[in-house]
Amino acid sequence: MPRWLVFAIDISAVFVTFIFAYLLRYNFETYTFSWILALSQALLVCSVYSIFMLIFKSYSGLIRQTTIRDTFIIAVINSVTLIIFVVFTFGSRNFGLPGLFNIPYSVLVIHFGMVTVSLILFRVFIKMFYIFVTVQEGNRKMVLIYGASETGIMVKRVITNDPKSRYKLFGFVDNNPKLLGKKVDGYPVFSDGVLNKDFIDSQSIQTFIFANENISAGKKKEVIESVIDLGLEILDTPAFNQWLNGQLQVKQLRKVQLEDLLGREPISLDLKRIAAGLKDKTILVTGAAGSIGSEIVRQLTKYQYKQLILVDNSETPCYYLEIELKKSFPGTPFELIVGDVANEVKMNHIFKKYQPQIVFHAAAYKHVPIMEANPHEAFRVNVGGTKIVSELAIKYKAEKFVMISSDKAVNPTNVMGATKKVCELLIQAQSRRPEISTQFVTTRFGNVLGSNGSAIHLFKRQIAEGGPVTITDPEITRYFMTIPEACQLVLEAGFAGNGGEIFVFDMGDPVKILDLALKLIQLSGMEPYEDINIKYIGLRPGEKMFEELFTDEEKHLPTHNPKISIAKIAPADYDCIIPKINEALASIYDKSGIEVIEALKEIVPEFTSDYAKTH
């Protein structure tokens, strides 16, 4: 209904109920009052109502989505108008105001009650009629909502009020003893004891919506895992700051992600220290369009820096990053540059022009099998790029240099991990040079869920294609954390160190890749081994059965943040390591793959490789 029509109906209701109030007041004996006066007063009342309806915009909401707020506005308009006309009547009778303003008090009271009921019932009728003619009950899925607090009630109202919703609410699940056995917003509240196959099947429950904001990550993981085996569609409610214009919509309910099954608590950051370290600084991020680099950029947008210099060698991801920054973070001062960190001339031009004070070095080749087949590129970009960027940071007197390393650098068995170990040694050696002012810090962590080209992306594609899901070995394990979690800790560690530290992040317990694959299949609404098969393909060249975060020789030192430790390693000698790196980089493409591997082994004696057997 257009707004003008709602406004016209409301004013008509005001007029009609006022005349009817007059009739009631005089027992329908029309000869006992002046019709001309009554009609004139009705028009006066409509005029005042019109003013307040325009002020409060009571006509502007969608009638089919009428809420308590809308009825409250109507009550306010009616109450204010009643008070005004009571004052008018009193003034007419005692201070000589015109007889037009002398409306009987009884007429005003009767009219107040009638018009309030009429305007509210009109909206309720339209809302119920709309639901009646649009909702198709037969196509709706029966739903349980986990959480009967504010968020759960909001989800309930969204799915019941939206005629296009595919869901029909059965009830809430909540362990609050004050709510059990009672009804919330007209629906029963059950304990989580009903989350069993017998109950779910008997009540034809098809969907489970998680809507409890006051619960620990561990408990949430426990609840979701208990529901996965029941064959339900599992949805999660987004955080309030992700609602569209402050309003939750059915389409925003998202499928539960693997991140929710890690059970990791939110990170507590030293925001003041980070903010002080970034304030009014020019910040360079290499590998800025990658999974880690782009998330570092998103995290940085929360702080007051001077400018972001974003460097990446991949054109298309740079394009998408630029679009995202302009759309999601308007006003962010940044320069996006396509460039190779291993190109010394290009990088020198960037450092000379922008004079970055903070450097986050995330650029690197990371895929183990690809780098195993391309050791020259792994060494040139990972090691050579780190050498160039770190030395330019020293040359142009950057205050802080933070390098992103990997758990694959610990006792490396592949080229990628070995190059990262060389980078760790190089950065530590740079930090020990007495003549420099730049603080060098290394951060080491394991796999991140959802990063570009990760196993999770591969599994999702294989599931979408009908399988099979390929896993190297049923016993293989990896450490996992979310991308935002990793990047928050990168910022925290970057401003916690004094230089030379290798910060290692708490990754929790290692996770079986097989378990992740099984849960991902179930979260996709399918059954492992029935709908989607699993195929074991054996370990790939250079791949470990399990990863490590520390070597046996490294000591673990605590920091102010319980999720960050320091790996205390033997000091690296700059004058010893740099000649070996330079020798390997010199005419690198004239060397054979075996020679590059031998160069890596000379710098990292613990590096073991099967390269000679496979190439």
Q: How far is CA 484 from CA 244, 317, 490, 521, in A?
A: 22, 18, 10, 24
Phi and psi at 245, nearest 5°, equal 55, 35
Q: How many CA atoms lie within 13 A of 104 on its CB side?
A: 16
Q: Which amino acid is at 476?
A: I
Question: CA 131 to CA 582: how far, in whole Å?
Answer: 74
- Orientation angle between helical segments 455-464 and 513-523, nearest 10 degrees: 40
Tokens coding 118? 């009429």
Q: Please check whether residue 434 is in contact with residue 440, taking contact to mean a CB–CB distance below 8 angstroms.
A: no
Q: How far is CA 333 from CA 10, 307, 316, 322, 443, in A?
A: 50, 5, 21, 11, 26
List 408, 421, 544, 591, catalytic entry: 408
Cα angle 609, 610, 611 (rounded to 5 degrees) comes to: 90
The H or E element containing residue 566 is strand 564-568
- Dihedral sign from CA coordinates of 368, 427, 590, 611: negative
Q: Please check whether residue 188 is in contact with residue 161, taking contact to mean a CB–CB distance below 8 angstroms.
A: no
Q: How far is CA 596 from CA 341, 388, 556, 588, in A?
A: 20, 19, 32, 8
Nearest by Cα to 480 from 252, 203, 257, 224: 257
Asked if 408 is an active-site residue, the reply is yes
Give the residue numbers annotated as catalytic, written as ranges. Answer: 408
